[in-house]
Structure 1
Amino acid sequence: MNQQLAEQEDLLFTLDDGIGRIVFNRPQARNAFTFEMYERLAEICDRANTDRAIKVLVLRGAGDKAFAAGTDINQFRAFETPQDGIAYERRIDRVLTTLEQCRVPTIAAITGACTGGGAAIAATCDLRVGTANTRIGFPIARTLGNCLSMSSISRLTALIGPARVKDLIFTARLVGAEEAASVGLLTEVVDDLAALDKRADEVARLVASHAPLTLSATKHAVARLQKRLTQDEGEDLILMCYMSRDFREGLDAFLTKRAPQWRGE
């Protein structure tokens, strides 16, 4: 029997036969995340750590246009002090760490755009199934001029290597499904949305049937192999970007739909 555990306008969660399904439900905004959505995602992961009825989590964006297009730009409009940027990146680090350390396996079912914070969420999941029209990237160098946190850079580097991380961010390009699969950003590619739902469900049921302690031990072992710098070690980089004139220019340019004029200051 399907049990509706939680439902709110922007993020939906259901549990059915051990499979927890999380849907980012803002298709009109390409499923861009509000701060409340980040917090709700962390709450669900925390619940999965103690609720043994949850065997696996599947994350998906509503509609067929996007998995998640990062953080909603409007969340940045109130940024004025150095602490605003630090607090934001600390929030993202905390939520992604909660997702990464979640007791149960996590599967990202990706179609369409998967960018910025959405790509960071997908990269943190254990498995990623995409469709032929999936496009993944971190186009921040041509949009806002901000930066990824040390934790996000660490996870991404461990997943695809330092050279590819630089390539993605320096070029601000979005990687298509075929290339994404070849470099490890996707573990599997299917044709379309219908095939994605079917395959994500198959993988979730397969994983849910396996020994939970084996899966948990493997997750922890892999995490222990990946060096993590402290939040403090990356704060100078966060401040350099978020307190810059370029960040304000990028934000204004994005909201007014014009090309930003970067000054490097």
Structure 2
Amino acid sequence: MTRDGPVMTLTFNRPEAHNALTWNMYDRLYEACEEADRDDSVRVLVLRGAGGKAFVAGTDIGQFQAFERAEDGIAYERDGDRRMARLEAVRKPVIAQVQGFAVGGGFRITACCDLRIATPEARFGAPIARTVGNCLSMAAYARFVDMFGPSRVKELLFTARLLTAEEAHATGYVQEIVPADRIEARVAALARQIADHAPITLWVTKESIRRLSAGRMLPEDEDLIAATYTSADFREGVRAFLDKRKPEWTGR
């Protein structure tokens, strides 16, 4: 965590693993949101990844080896919902500085930020149907459908492809595409510009937009999560990912 006047920056700092998130890193993200809201001198929060190759390459898959019961998958998704809800509820504008991959959990984190500035090499998506064979929570599906529409979300998840920076910009998901050698300066300038504006107006605008979707009733999803995380395909996906081989799906 670093500070530059009114701008607080949290760096996901695990470049050797493309900033794949451990449970402790998820906890640190939650704590950073708490810190930003406690300190009135913080006006903007910036999230970025170390190393220039990835923003966040999802959850560290090795941690899934400990999953044995439906409750493990349900707890994981509920914890993710809680952390992402906290990020969305930060009272200050949050900017994602995206260089490289923002996939899986990284894709969801960027979706919970207010603005996204990316390099041309940035890629966005959740290729879980090709990699691990898990699922998203209903809250995550709802967020992506809000942003991209149901057809695009189905296409991305069914094909397991990643959105390019240009595609994400065309949808309005990414606000600006900036070369890697200029993105840090551009994000800093944007953060300073926003930090100079009326904090209450910024918060009320952000919170009002958040409440438009936060107040709706989401359908039950624990049966779907349980079916996924107790499946043989999920266990095979985790093993195959760690073994660096193509998984053999059976539909069981």
**What TM-score do the two structures reach when normalised by structure 2?**
0.97
1:136 aligns with 2:124: yes
Residue 234 of structure 2 corresponds to residue 240 of structure 1: no
Work out whether 1:200 is the aligned partner of 2:187: yes
Distance 1:229 1:195 in 2: 42
CA distance in 1, matches of 2:56, 2:213: 25
1:163 shift after superposition: 1.3
Amino acid at match of 1:139: P
Q: Which amino acid aligns with 1:103?
A: R
Q: Please give the per-residue CA displacement for 1:95-114, whole angstroms capped at 9, x wherever unaligned.
A: 10000000100000001111
Indicate if the aligned counterparts of 2:70 and 2:227 stay in contact, CA closer than 8 A: no
- Counterpart in the other structure of 1:6: none
Per-residue Cα deviation, 1:215-238 (whole angstroms, up to 9, x for no partner):
1111111112115445x8111111
Give unmatched runs, 5+ long, in structure 2.
none
Contact 1:151–1:229 under 8 Å retained in 2: no
Alignment counterpart, residue 45 of structure 1, candidates 26, 33, 37: 33
Q: Distance in 2 between matches of 1:178 and 1:191?
A: 13
Q: 1:129-208 to 2 correspondence within 5 Å? A: 129-192=117-180, 194-208=181-195
Query: How many angstroms apart in 2 are the aligned matches of 1:144 and 1:256?
Result: 12
Structure 2 residue aligned with 1:21 = 9
After superposition, the CA RMSD in angstroms is: 1.1
4+ runs deviating over 6 angstroms: none
Q: Deviations over 1:89-131 (max 9, x none)?
A: 1111111000000010000000111100001001110000000
Question: Aligned partners of 1:264, 1:70: CA distance in 2, in Å?
Answer: 23
For the residues of structure 2 that align with 1:187 and 1:63, how far apart are their CA atoms?
22
> Across the two proteins, how many residue pairs are aligned to each other?
251
* Alpha-carbon offset, residue 240 of structure 1: 1.2
2:110 aligned with 1:122: yes
Distance, in Å, in 2 between the alignment partners of 1:186 and 1:229 is 28
Question: 2-side partners of 1:51 and 1:175: how far apart?
Answer: 35
Contact 1:160 1:184 survives alignment (8 Å): no
Measure, in 2, the Cα distance between the counterparts of 1:43 and 1:224.
Answer: 22
Residue 218 of structure 1, aligned match among 192, 195, 205: 205
1:78 deviates by 0.3
Amino acid at match of 1:141: A
Q: Deviations over 1:146-185 (max 9, x none)?
A: 1111111111111111111111111100111111101133
Cα shift at 1:189: 0.5
Q: Secondary structure at 1:15's aligned position in 2? A: strand
2: CA distance, partners of 1:167 / 1:117: 18
Structure 2 CA distance for aligned equivalents of residues 150 and 209 of structure 1: 36
- Answer whether contact 1:31 1:62 (CA < 8 A) is retained: yes
Q: Is the 8 A contact 1:23 1:62 kept in 2?
A: yes
Spell out the pairing of 1:16-95 with structure 2 (5 A cutoff): 16-95=4-83
CA distance in 2, matches of 1:73, 1:251: 7
Q: 1:99 aligns with which of 80, 84, 87?
A: 87
Match of 2:66, SS state, is coil
> Are 1:58 and 1:106, in contact at CA under 8 Å, matched by a contact in 2?
yes
For 1:60, give the aligned amino acid.
R
User: Aligned letter for 1:183?
Assistant: T
Give TM-score scaled by structure 1 length. Answer: 0.92
Query: Secondary structure at the residue paired with 1:39?
Result: helix
